[in-house]
């Protein structure tokens, strides 16, 4: 049995099976609804249910509260249709155009610039470059159909010689996938992945100045965006704020310095929250999004691209829109939610 979902105001519609998440059907149909984690944790897919009835699967209260559900809001990633539906959601230009594919990939390189970050280079099947938008992510399909998401750190245009993607993976001790990356994974291993996913990517149709905000390995998709701007000669003003605990955690500091020296319109501001004595750090300190607010008390004419720890992303969204006048629809983000976040507070 299937139902029709109509999206307003675009008027686009697609079919969804009973018990299938609305978002999964939209991705299959190439309808670009906004989303991030696909798993009820980040809230990026929150949309208004105008007509019809859904059943929500497990999700975090922070992504959709009982009061919001009561008031007619829904998370498309974990809501299953029980009738035909009409939902209100902006459709994201460019999001549904690239088909999602499953493919095997070979690990060709594992670098460990710091003890807890691995930079993986994955080779795609020969002559089969992955089409994606700079900022999007892939999912590894693990045993037992577990999935883990990682953002591409290279521009899609940087694949000309050999189809490949670069990923930046932080070790989460006790984690299913990253424990394996930091113990048994070796070059030539074959992994299975699916992608591209996500609506966090550079909006190339805008000329607004940008704040590019990263914490930890949230630098990965931001690096992809910067590399893409470099290759395409995009001249928009951009300031990169990269927040880490101490200097060693700025695992591609030299890359960022070099990019800023080559791109006249890019400024790089590293921010450390707990600089160590041996860092002899004379740069910015504190919470990375506070550094942005000090430099840009007025963000009303900006776009912000934020990626990394969920607490950094949600604090930046809250403070930038409420205090600095950033228009709510000019905040683009991927929060790196994990199993711990998903199981921390479910309804």
Q: How far is CA 136 from the centre of its chain?
A: 6
Tell me which residue of 275, 300, 149, 142 sits closest to 220, measured CA to CA: 149
Q: Which residues is 331 bridged to in the sheet?
A: 304
Q: How many residues does the chain have?
A: 347
CA distances from 29 to 1, 33, 97, 99, 147 (A): 17, 11, 10, 9, 21
The listed partner (ligand FAD, ligand FES, none) that binds 40, CB under 5 to 8 Å by sort, is ligand FES
Q: By CB under 6 A, what part of segment 152-181 binds ligand FAD?
A: 168-170, 172, 174-178
Residue pair 152/132 in contact (Cβ under 8 Å)? The answer is yes
Instruction: Choose between 57 and 94: whose C-beta lies nearer to ligand FES.
Output: 57
58 lines the binding site for ligand FAD (CB under 6 A): no
Residue pair 57/94 in contact (Cβ under 8 Å)? The answer is no
Residue pair 165/154 in contact (Cβ under 8 Å)? The answer is yes
To ligand FAD, the closest distance from the beta carbon of 132 in angstroms equals 13
Binding mask 16-45 for ligand FES (x = CB under 6 A): -------------------xxxx-xxxxxx
Instruction: Choose between 50 and 176: whose C-beta lies nearer to ligand FAD.
Output: 176
Binding mask 203-242 for ligand FAD (x = CB under 6 A): --------------x--x----------------------
Residue selected from 14, 132, 150, 201 as contacting ligand FAD according to rule CB under 6 A: 150
Binding mask 53-92 for ligand FES (x = CB under 6 A): ----------x-----------x-x---------------
To ligand FAD, the closest distance from the beta carbon of 193 in angstroms equals 12
Element (H, E) at 112: strand 101-114
Token pair listed for 69: 């559900």
Instruction: Choose between 4 and 314: whose C-beta lies nearer to ligand FAD.
Output: 314
- What is the spatial distance between Cα 95 and Cα 131, in angstroms, rounded to a whole number? 12
Instruction: Choose between 176 and 301: whose C-beta lies nearer to ligand FAD.
Output: 176
How many residues interact with ligand FES (rule CB under 6 A)?
Answer: 13
Residue pair 176/148 in contact (Cβ under 8 Å)? The answer is yes
User: Tokens 């992994």 map to which residue?
Assistant: 191
Token pair listed for 203: 């909006």
User: Where along the sequence are the contacts to ligand FAD (CB under 6 A)?
Assistant: 36-37, 137, 148-151, 168-170, 172, 174-178, 198, 217, 220, 334, 336-340, 343
């Amino acid at each position: 049995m299937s139902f029709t979902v109509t999206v307003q105001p675009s008027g686009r519609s697609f079919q969804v099976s009973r018990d299938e998440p609305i978002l999964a059907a939209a991705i299959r149909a190439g309808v670009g609804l906004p989303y991030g984690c696909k798993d009820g944790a980040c809230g990026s897919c929150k949309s208004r249910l105008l007509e019809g009835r859904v059943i929500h699967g497990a999700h975090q209260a922070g992504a959709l509260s009982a009061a919001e559900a009561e008031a007619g809001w829904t998370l498309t990633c974990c809501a299953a249709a029980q009738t035909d539906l009409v939902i209100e959601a902006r459709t994201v230009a460019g999001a549904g155009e690239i088909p999602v594919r499953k493919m095997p990939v070979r690990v060709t390189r594992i670098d460990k610039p710091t003890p807890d970050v691995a930079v993986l280079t994955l080779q795609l099947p020969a002559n089969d470059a992955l089409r994606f938008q700079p900022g999007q992510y892939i999912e590894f399909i693990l045993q037992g159909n577990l999935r883990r998401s990682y953002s591409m750190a290279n521009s899609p245009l940087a694949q000309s010689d050999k189809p490949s993607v670069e990923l930046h993976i932080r070790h989460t001790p006790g984690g299913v996938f990253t424990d394996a990356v930091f113990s048994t994974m070796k070059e030539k291993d074959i992994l299975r992945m699916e992608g591209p996913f996500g609506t966090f990517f550079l909006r190339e149709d805008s000329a607004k100045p940008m704040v590019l905000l990263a914490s930890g390995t949230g630098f990965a998709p931001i690096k992809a965006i910067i590399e893409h701007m470099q290759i395409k000669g995009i001249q928009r003003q951009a300031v990169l704020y990269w927040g880490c605990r101490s200097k060693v955690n700025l695992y591609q500091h030299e890359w960022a310095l070099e990019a800023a020296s080559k791109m006249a319109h890019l400024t790089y501001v590293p921010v450390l929250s707990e600089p160590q004595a041996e860092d002899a750090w004379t740069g910015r300190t504190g919470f990375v999004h506070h550094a942005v607010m000090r430099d840009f008390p007025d963000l009303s004419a900006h776009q912000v691209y934020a990626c990394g720890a969920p607490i950094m992303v949600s604090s930046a969204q809250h403070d930038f829109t409420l205090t600095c006048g950033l228009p709510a629809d000019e905040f683009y983000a991927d929060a790196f939610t994990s199993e711990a976040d998903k199981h921390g507070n479910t309804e």
